Structure 1
């Protein structure tokens, strides 16, 4: 009998090939053993994917710092895990596009509300259709902020911080996609409310993972979290200023101001 994978000659009672390590299959394919194979592959605790997913909640430092330090066989490597997250996020987008209904975030009974809603719809459409791209662009941004926040702790360089946030962003994206597949089709929560609810969950997971990765106590992590929020607030203000400048240049801001003026005059009349 020969191995069906590499054709190495096997002994009669061999269960695995001594050359390639492939499992010796003696039974014909049936629904029963096909189901057993799928269960063993995806739901067995010893499975690398499931072990990586669970450990990123229990001990994220074991997965992330282990990978940085050279442990590459125990868990799914960072690039494969991030690619899986992007793929699952693509399925999430399909679910959202299929089940979401039009939602007016602004009062569209006024001209200004129509303008504001149009801008909101454009941003929402872009972030939905290009979610994978947006997710990838977050990574260097997060790593840069972490480099500043943890400047005095020389534990990781910038490249290693990219690995940290690739793992953590992938983990939270997989979880969000899972909850989306349940909440949106069953209409348990409106899409805007759901979108707002996952922001603090994502934030707290990042704080939890970084606390364990850097081995900080609660006070040390709290101070750095406040520093991070302050830095994020400054960056947000700068982004708003840049957005307003761009809107002025494109003429959209002027249209909104004129629409507001017209609405005010109509109300006074």
Structure 2
């Protein structure tokens, strides 16, 4: 018998490939088998998703550094976990644009600032509603991760801490952002159900998730509190600058789409 993923030779009694770690599937795909796999991954108490979600709070270094070092069986793969988070974000956007449209009807001081800089007849920002950016939320998340990874990589590289290369910093930020997206998506949906102000709620949710990034960096790089704090400030400066660029890019996309 051979592994269907890497073609490694296996014993008949093996349940996992000792080369790539993939589970050995011996039964044909049937509804019962598919239901069992869904239960193992997402529903059962000891499933990978729940374990990954909880341990990213309790011991994020075990999940993230474990993946970087090659441990792939205990937790969900970083790209799969990020894909799940984007799915939840997509559900959030669907609910907002379908059942909670009033939540997107908020004015932006940022847009109003542009509105006052030029006559309305010549001002492309006149009809801008930043609620339209919600439609591109998943795309914004995807573009944000490389910028954030560059921020953490550059900060630690300049300070002489070069344990992890850029790709490994990308893994760190993918896990962080997946956790961030899952938390904000779930909480946003719950708050929308209670008819709370979306803009205020999303702002309040962002604060603890920023603190969570500090916590993740401290656990992974094992610096002191103040060393981590100094590095965190540098990362946030790069992050805010990057987000500004991304927001401008997203606004341009919205404006172009309105012209088409």
Normalised to the residue count of structure 1, the TM-score between the two structures is 0.67
Counterpart of 2:5 in structure 1 is none
Counterpart of 1:139 in structure 2 is 145
Counterparts of 1:242-261 in structure 2 under 5 Å? none
1:83-116 per-residue CA deviation (whole Å, 9 max, x = no partner) reads 11111110010122221412234598xx749879
Which has the greater radius of gyration? 1
Counterpart of 1:227 in structure 2 is 234
1:1-58 per-residue CA deviation (whole Å, 9 max, x = no partner) reads xxxxxxxxxxxxxxxx95766799xxxx9xxxxx999877634332111101110111
Q: 1:128 to 1:238 in 2, by over 3 A?
A: closer
> How many Å separate the matches in 2 of 1:220 and 1:148?
16
Confirm or deny: 8 A CA contact 1:104 1:117 kept in the other structure. no
> How many Å separate the matches in 1 of 2:36 and 2:82?
27
Confirm or deny: 8 A CA contact 2:145 2:174 kept in the other structure. yes
Give the CA deviation at 1:231: 4.0
Normalised to the residue count of structure 2, the TM-score between the two structures is 0.70
> How many Å separate the matches in 1 of 2:223 and 2:127?
42
Long gaps (5+) in structure 2: 1-11, 16-23, 256-260
1:175-231 per-residue CA deviation (whole Å, 9 max, x = no partner) reads 1111112101211x2111122222222211111111111111211111112223444
Confirm or deny: 8 A CA contact 2:41 2:49 kept in the other structure. no
Counterpart of 2:73 in structure 1 is 73
Counterpart of 1:258 in structure 2 is none
Counterparts of 1:73-222 in structure 2 under 5 Å? 73-97=73-97, 98-101=99-102, 102-105=105-108, 112=116, 118=126, 120-121=128-129, 123-125=130-132, 127-151=133-157, 152-187=160-195, 189-222=196-229
Q: 1:39 to 1:239 in 2, by over 3 A?
A: closer
Long gaps (5+) in structure 1: 1-16, 30-34, 251-269
Q: 1:232 to 1:78 in 2, by over 3 A?
A: closer
> How many Å separate the matches in 1 of 2:173 and 2:243?
24
